[in-house]
Amino acid sequence: MNSGLVFAMAGTLLFALGTAGVLLVRALFRRILAFNVMGSGAFLVLVGLAQRTGPPDPVTQAMVLTGIVVAVAATALALALVRRLHALTGRLEIQQRNDE
């Protein structure tokens, strides 16, 4: 049991937590936060698993850098949409009814 495996296990827990959050919570800001927790979990697993055998792995570190940037882009997009929804309707949740 080395530090890499501990990171990976923590990452798995974070991922499960984040996914449950996105699926269950109604408030949009918290869903975005939960999505970020999901992403962080996946990154932790990427880096942690690769490190369990020895020195840090530059490939996974580069992948996680890329992943963080992509997550930032997605989060910014989500926030912009939530802001627009709020400006147009005053709500901060997705309208569930399939309106015709």
At residue 100, the 3 state secondary structure works out as coil
Assess 86 for contact with other proteins (CB under 8 A).
Answer: yes
Assess 65 for contact with other proteins (CB under 8 A).
Answer: yes
Contact pattern for other proteins over residues 66 through 85, marking x by CB under 8 A: xx-xx-xxx-xxxxxxxxxx
Residues binding other proteins: what is the number (CB under 8 A)?
66
Assess 57 for contact with other proteins (CB under 8 A).
Answer: yes
Among 2, 3, 16, 26, binds other proteins (CB under 8 A): 16
Contacts of 40 (CB under 8 A, 6+ apart): 11, 14, 18
Alpha-carbon gap, residue 18 to 39, rounded angstroms: 8
